[in-house]
Amino acid sequence: MSDTLNPEMTQVPEMEEHRDDVGARLGFWLFLYTEIFLFGVMFILYGVYRNKYLDEFQKAAHDLNKVIGTTNTLILLFSSLTVVLAIVALKKGDKGKTRDLLIVTMMCGLTFLVIKSFEWQAKFHHGIHLQTASGIAEGHGSPLLTPGDEMLPQGEVLFYSLYYIMTGTHALHIVIGFILILWTTIKLERGSIDKDNPVVLENVGLYWHLVDVIWIFLFPLFYLVS
Protein backbone atom coordinates (compact mmCIF):
# COMPACT_ATOMS: atom_id res chain seq x y z
CA MET A 1 0.00 0.00 0.00
CA SER A 2 2.74 2.40 0.93
CA ASP A 3 4.31 1.59 -2.43
CA THR A 4 1.67 3.63 -4.22
CA LEU A 5 2.95 6.69 -2.37
CA ASN A 6 6.45 6.06 -3.56
CA PRO A 7 7.01 8.23 -6.69
CA GLU A 8 9.20 5.65 -8.34
CA MET A 9 6.57 2.97 -8.07
CA THR A 10 3.88 5.15 -9.64
CA GLN A 11 6.07 5.85 -12.66
CA VAL A 12 4.42 4.45 -15.79
CA PRO A 13 6.85 2.30 -17.81
CA GLU A 14 7.69 3.98 -21.11
CA MET A 15 5.86 2.54 -24.06
CA GLU A 16 7.87 1.94 -27.20
CA GLU A 17 6.65 4.35 -29.85
CA HIS A 18 4.56 2.56 -32.48
CA ARG A 19 5.80 3.20 -35.96
CA ASP A 20 4.53 1.96 -39.28
CA ASP A 21 6.71 3.41 -41.99
CA VAL A 22 5.19 1.25 -44.72
CA GLY A 23 1.73 2.41 -43.66
CA ALA A 24 2.91 6.00 -43.64
CA ARG A 25 4.22 5.70 -47.20
CA LEU A 26 1.18 3.79 -48.45
CA GLY A 27 -1.14 6.39 -46.96
CA PHE A 28 0.81 9.14 -48.64
CA TRP A 29 0.55 7.35 -51.99
CA LEU A 30 -3.23 7.38 -51.53
CA PHE A 31 -3.12 11.14 -51.12
CA LEU A 32 -1.00 11.41 -54.27
CA TYR A 33 -3.71 9.56 -56.19
CA THR A 34 -6.20 12.25 -55.27
CA GLU A 35 -3.76 14.79 -56.74
CA ILE A 36 -3.58 12.72 -59.92
CA PHE A 37 -7.35 12.99 -60.20
CA LEU A 38 -7.23 16.74 -59.60
CA PHE A 39 -4.91 17.29 -62.54
CA GLY A 40 -6.27 14.38 -64.55
CA VAL A 41 -9.71 15.90 -64.92
CA MET A 42 -8.14 19.14 -66.14
CA PHE A 43 -6.31 17.13 -68.79
CA ILE A 44 -9.65 15.66 -69.85
CA LEU A 45 -11.08 19.17 -70.09
CA TYR A 46 -8.17 20.17 -72.30
CA GLY A 47 -8.76 17.10 -74.47
CA VAL A 48 -12.40 17.96 -75.04
CA TYR A 49 -11.76 21.58 -76.02
CA ARG A 50 -8.70 20.76 -78.11
CA ASN A 51 -10.86 18.42 -80.11
CA LYS A 52 -13.36 21.18 -80.71
CA TYR A 53 -10.88 23.99 -81.48
CA LEU A 54 -7.86 22.20 -82.88
CA ASP A 55 -6.53 24.98 -85.14
CA GLU A 56 -6.87 27.69 -82.51
CA PHE A 57 -5.21 25.48 -79.88
CA GLN A 58 -2.30 24.85 -82.19
CA LYS A 59 -1.95 28.53 -83.04
CA ALA A 60 -1.98 29.54 -79.37
CA ALA A 61 0.47 26.76 -78.44
CA HIS A 62 2.86 28.15 -81.03
CA ASP A 63 3.18 31.32 -78.95
CA LEU A 64 4.61 29.43 -75.99
CA ASN A 65 8.39 29.24 -75.88
CA LYS A 66 9.69 25.66 -76.27
CA VAL A 67 13.17 26.52 -75.01
CA ILE A 68 11.80 27.94 -71.77
CA GLY A 69 9.47 24.98 -71.38
CA THR A 70 12.28 22.48 -71.94
CA THR A 71 14.54 24.33 -69.50
CA ASN A 72 11.86 24.19 -66.83
CA THR A 73 11.35 20.49 -67.49
CA LEU A 74 15.07 19.80 -67.03
CA ILE A 75 15.18 21.90 -63.85
CA LEU A 76 12.36 19.89 -62.29
CA LEU A 77 13.87 16.57 -63.37
CA PHE A 78 17.17 17.62 -61.79
CA SER A 79 15.39 18.65 -58.59
CA SER A 80 13.77 15.20 -58.44
CA LEU A 81 17.26 13.71 -58.68
CA THR A 82 18.57 15.88 -55.86
CA VAL A 83 15.74 14.93 -53.54
CA VAL A 84 16.39 11.22 -54.20
CA LEU A 85 20.11 11.75 -53.58
CA ALA A 86 19.19 13.53 -50.34
CA ILE A 87 17.35 10.40 -49.18
CA VAL A 88 20.34 8.25 -50.15
CA ALA A 89 22.63 10.58 -48.18
CA LEU A 90 20.30 10.40 -45.19
CA LYS A 91 20.33 6.60 -45.24
CA LYS A 92 24.12 6.68 -45.36
CA GLY A 93 24.06 8.96 -42.31
CA ASP A 94 25.57 11.96 -44.13
CA LYS A 95 23.49 14.73 -42.61
CA GLY A 96 25.46 17.59 -44.20
CA LYS A 97 25.06 16.23 -47.71
CA THR A 98 21.35 15.60 -47.10
CA ARG A 99 20.89 19.20 -46.06
CA ASP A 100 22.86 20.55 -49.03
CA LEU A 101 20.88 18.44 -51.51
CA LEU A 102 17.58 19.59 -50.02
CA ILE A 103 18.71 23.20 -50.36
CA VAL A 104 19.59 22.60 -54.03
CA THR A 105 16.13 21.06 -54.53
CA MET A 106 14.50 24.15 -53.08
CA MET A 107 16.61 26.44 -55.25
CA CYS A 108 15.51 24.49 -58.35
CA GLY A 109 11.89 24.93 -57.33
CA LEU A 110 12.38 28.65 -56.90
CA THR A 111 14.11 28.93 -60.28
CA PHE A 112 11.19 27.14 -61.91
CA LEU A 113 8.76 29.61 -60.35
CA VAL A 114 10.82 32.63 -61.42
CA ILE A 115 10.96 31.39 -65.02
CA LYS A 116 7.23 30.64 -64.96
CA SER A 117 6.53 34.17 -63.71
CA PHE A 118 8.49 35.63 -66.62
CA GLU A 119 6.39 33.56 -69.01
CA TRP A 120 3.16 34.76 -67.47
CA GLN A 121 4.35 38.37 -67.49
CA ALA A 122 5.11 38.07 -71.19
CA LYS A 123 1.54 36.91 -71.79
CA PHE A 124 0.14 39.78 -69.68
CA HIS A 125 2.25 42.16 -71.76
CA HIS A 126 0.53 40.87 -74.89
CA GLY A 127 -2.86 41.56 -73.41
CA ILE A 128 -3.67 38.00 -72.46
CA HIS A 129 -4.72 38.42 -68.85
CA LEU A 130 -6.62 36.55 -66.23
CA GLN A 131 -9.76 38.52 -65.67
CA THR A 132 -12.49 38.44 -63.12
CA ALA A 133 -16.11 37.54 -63.69
CA SER A 134 -17.04 41.22 -63.43
CA GLY A 135 -14.95 41.90 -66.52
CA ILE A 136 -16.93 39.29 -68.40
CA ALA A 137 -20.19 40.70 -67.02
CA GLU A 138 -19.25 44.13 -68.37
CA GLY A 139 -19.46 42.55 -71.80
CA HIS A 140 -15.84 42.17 -72.74
CA GLY A 141 -16.63 38.77 -74.15
CA SER A 142 -13.34 37.05 -73.67
CA PRO A 143 -12.33 36.74 -70.01
CA LEU A 144 -8.73 37.14 -70.99
CA LEU A 145 -8.79 40.67 -72.40
CA THR A 146 -8.59 44.10 -70.89
CA PRO A 147 -11.23 46.64 -71.96
CA GLY A 148 -10.71 47.98 -75.46
CA ASP A 149 -8.62 45.07 -76.69
CA GLU A 150 -9.54 43.03 -79.70
CA MET A 151 -11.41 39.87 -78.90
CA LEU A 152 -9.43 36.67 -79.20
CA PRO A 153 -11.08 33.73 -80.94
CA GLN A 154 -12.97 31.47 -78.56
CA GLY A 155 -10.58 28.54 -79.05
CA GLU A 156 -7.56 30.64 -78.11
CA VAL A 157 -9.36 31.99 -75.06
CA LEU A 158 -9.98 28.43 -73.93
CA PHE A 159 -6.36 27.45 -74.53
CA TYR A 160 -5.08 30.32 -72.41
CA SER A 161 -7.66 29.73 -69.69
CA LEU A 162 -6.52 26.15 -69.43
CA TYR A 163 -2.88 27.24 -69.59
CA TYR A 164 -3.23 29.66 -66.68
CA ILE A 165 -5.36 27.36 -64.53
CA MET A 166 -3.28 24.23 -65.06
CA THR A 167 0.18 25.78 -64.84
CA GLY A 168 -1.08 27.98 -62.00
CA THR A 169 -2.33 25.04 -59.97
CA HIS A 170 0.94 23.27 -60.71
CA ALA A 171 2.94 26.31 -59.57
CA LEU A 172 0.92 26.37 -56.35
CA HIS A 173 1.99 22.77 -55.79
CA ILE A 174 5.62 23.78 -56.29
CA VAL A 175 5.18 26.41 -53.58
CA ILE A 176 3.65 23.81 -51.25
CA GLY A 177 6.47 21.40 -52.07
CA PHE A 178 9.04 24.09 -51.35
CA ILE A 179 7.50 24.75 -47.93
CA LEU A 180 7.42 21.02 -47.18
CA ILE A 181 11.09 20.60 -48.12
CA LEU A 182 12.00 23.64 -46.00
CA TRP A 183 10.11 22.16 -43.04
CA THR A 184 11.87 18.83 -43.61
CA THR A 185 15.27 20.54 -43.66
CA ILE A 186 14.47 22.16 -40.31
CA LYS A 187 13.42 18.80 -38.88
CA LEU A 188 16.68 17.34 -40.19
CA GLU A 189 18.71 20.05 -38.45
CA ARG A 190 16.82 19.41 -35.22
CA GLY A 191 17.45 15.69 -35.45
CA SER A 192 13.83 14.54 -35.68
CA ILE A 193 14.63 13.11 -39.10
CA ASP A 194 17.68 10.91 -39.28
CA LYS A 195 19.04 7.67 -40.70
CA ASP A 196 16.69 5.57 -38.56
CA ASN A 197 13.63 7.76 -39.05
CA PRO A 198 13.54 8.85 -42.70
CA VAL A 199 9.85 8.49 -43.51
CA VAL A 200 8.94 12.19 -43.39
CA LEU A 201 11.67 12.98 -45.93
CA GLU A 202 10.61 10.01 -48.06
CA ASN A 203 7.00 11.23 -48.17
CA VAL A 204 7.96 14.82 -48.92
CA GLY A 205 10.17 13.41 -51.68
CA LEU A 206 7.18 11.51 -53.07
CA TYR A 207 5.19 14.75 -53.18
CA TRP A 208 7.97 16.48 -55.06
CA HIS A 209 8.20 13.64 -57.59
CA LEU A 210 4.49 13.86 -58.21
CA VAL A 211 4.80 17.57 -58.97
CA ASP A 212 7.56 16.61 -61.41
CA VAL A 213 5.44 13.89 -63.07
CA ILE A 214 2.55 16.32 -63.51
CA TRP A 215 4.87 18.74 -65.28
CA ILE A 216 6.20 15.88 -67.45
CA PHE A 217 2.67 15.67 -68.90
CA LEU A 218 1.88 19.40 -68.83
CA PHE A 219 4.97 20.24 -70.87
CA PRO A 220 4.04 18.43 -74.12
CA LEU A 221 0.39 19.33 -73.64
CA PHE A 222 1.01 23.06 -73.91
CA TYR A 223 4.41 23.50 -75.49
CA LEU A 224 4.79 20.71 -78.02
CA VAL A 225 1.49 20.41 -79.83
CA SER A 226 1.86 23.13 -82.42
Q: List residues near other proteins by CB under 8 A.
A: 16-19, 21-22, 25-26, 29-30, 33, 36-37, 40-41, 44, 47-48, 51-52, 54, 58, 66, 70, 73-74, 77-78, 80-81, 83-85, 87-88, 91-92, 196-197, 199, 202, 205-206, 209-210, 212-213, 216-217, 219-221, 224-226
CB of 185 to other proteins, least distance (A): 19
Q: Which residue, among 167, 131, 122, has the nearest Cα to 149 in the 3D structure?
A: 131
Cα–Cα dist 62/190, whole Å:
49
Cα–Cα dist 7/89, whole Å:
44
Q: Is the CB of 107 or the CB of 206 nearer to other proteins?
A: 206
Q: Distances in Å between the alpha carbon of 12 and those of 3, 18, 131, 140?
A: 14, 17, 62, 71
- Burial degree of 47 (CB within 10 A; 0-12, 13-18, 19+): exposed
CB of 172 to other proteins, least distance (A): 20
DSSP notation for 110-121? HHHHHHHHHHHH
Q: Is the CB of 23 or the CB of 127 nearer to other proteins?
A: 23
CB of 108 to other proteins, least distance (A): 12
Cβ–Cβ < 8 Å for 206, 32: yes
Q: Is the CB of 27 or the CB of 168 nearer to other proteins?
A: 27
Q: Is the CB of 81 or the CB of 130 nearer to other proteins?
A: 81
CB of 146 to other proteins, least distance (A): 31
Q: Is the CB of 48 or the CB of 172 nearer to other proteins?
A: 48
Q: Which residues pair with 194 in a beta bridge?
A: 197
Cβ–Cβ < 8 Å for 67, 206: no
Q: Is the CB of 48 or the CB of 179 nearer to other proteins?
A: 48
Cα–Cα dist 100/86, whole Å:
8
CB of 46 to other proteins, least distance (A): 10
CB of 221 to other proteins, least distance (A): 8
- Burial degree of 41 (CB within 10 A; 0-12, 13-18, 19+): exposed
